[in-house]
Amino acid sequence: MSIRHFVRFTAAGRILMIPVRFALFGVPPAWRQLRLAARWVFASKEYYNWTYDLTDLNQAYLASYVAVVTGHSLPSIEAYLAELKHDEALRQILRERTLASPDRHSCDVEPRYGRRIGWYAIVRATKPRVIVETGVDRGLGTAVIAAALAKNAAEGAPGTVYATDIVADCGHLVAAPYKKYCELLIGDSIDLLKKFTLPVDIFIHDSDHTPEYEWSEFQAIASRLHPDSLVMSDNSALTSKLRDFANQRGLDFLFFQDQPKDHWWPGDGIGTAFTLGKKVYFPHLPATVT
C-alpha cells in the first residue's frame, strides 16, 4: 500500500495526519495573526473601533463595489478614491485634532480610513443633500463624509451629514473647514431618527451593533427614505438585518468585506441596499426666484 493510499483511504492514515495537518495548515495562519497582534499592541494605541488601511487589492475591489451600487463608472470612482488618498489637508487636520484631544493616549495619530474611503466615493459620486450617519465616536467617518460634502459644495451640490451619538463629547475630529457640513445630534439614535423630518438620501448605520438595534434604526428611518435613497450598514459583516430590510423594501443588497492591511482584525465591511442598474444622483435644483 502506498503512503498516499494509506493517508487518503484508511482510518489509521486519517488519525496519523491530524497533527501533521495541524502543523502544516493550522499553525501558519494562527502564527501570522499572533505576529500581527504582537506588533500592533506596540504600534497602535487603540482599544476599540479599530482603524486600518485596506490592502491594495481590497481597495480595487471596493472601487468596483461602489461603481456597482451607485451606477457610476469605475474610472470616476477610482478618481474619487485617489482624491481622498491625496487630500493631505484633511489628514493634517485629523492629526492635529487627535493630538489636541484628551483621547490622544488611546487613539492613533495617523488617520487610517479603511472602508470609509468607500463612503467618501459614494458621497462624491451621488451628491447627496441629506446624509444620516448613526454612531460618530471620534468622528473619523463623519469627517471623511464632511470632506466629500465640502468638495461637492464647491461643485455646486451642497449637502449636510446629520450624525447621531449617545455620547455628548463625540466627534472631536470634525473641525473647520468641514464642520459646517455636519450637524451633530446627541441622544439615542432611534429617538432622534423618529423625530427626523427631512428626506434622507443616504443612511448609514454605525451605532449600537446589536441586530435588534440595527433593525429598529432601519424601521425608524424608513418613512424618510425615498426610492433613490441608499441605505448602508457598518454591521453587515455580523448581521443580515440590512439584507432583510432590502428584501422588505424590494431593494437589492450587496456586501463588501474589508481586508485590513497588516492588522490582526478580520475587517468590517459595507452593506448597501440599493437598486441594481440605477445611476444614483441626487438632483440639486436651482434656487427658485420668489
Ligand X SMILES: C[S@@+](CC[C@H](N)C(=O)[O-])C[C@H]1O[C@@H](n2cnc3c(N)ncnc32)[C@H](O)[C@@H]1O
Q: Where along the sequence are the contacts to ligand X (CB under 6 A)?
A: 49, 116, 134-137, 140-141, 164-167, 170, 188-189, 206-208
Please, which residues have CB within 8 angstroms of residue 177's CB and are 6 or more apart in sequence? 150
CB of 206 to ligand X, least distance (A): 4
Question: For ligand X, which is the closer residue by CB, 189 or 239?
Answer: 189
DSSP tag of 289: P
Question: For ligand X, which is the closer residue by CB, 137 or 228?
Answer: 137
| C-beta atoms surrounding 127 within 10 Å | 22
CB of 8 to ligand X, least distance (A): 47
Question: For ligand X, which is the closer residue by CB, 27 or 167?
Answer: 167
List beta partners, residue 160. 130
Question: For ligand X, which is the closer residue by CB, 155 or 191?
Answer: 191
Q: Are 133 and 161 in contact (CB under 8 A)?
A: yes
Q: What is the largest CA-CA distance in the chain?
A: 93
Q: Are 234 and 135 in contact (CB under 8 A)?
A: yes
Question: For ligand X, which is the closer residue by CB, 153 or 185?
Answer: 185
Q: Cβ-closest residue to ligand X?
A: 141
CB of 207 to ligand X, least distance (A): 4
CB of 164 to ligand X, least distance (A): 5
CB of 290 to ligand X, least distance (A): 38
CB of 185 to ligand X, least distance (A): 9
Question: For ligand X, which is the closer residue by CB, 228 or 270?
Answer: 270
| DSSP E strands, 50-159 | 130-134
Helices (H) and strands (E) in the chain, counts: 11, 7
State the Cα torsion 219-246-69-134 to the nearest 10°: 20
DSSP tag of 23: I
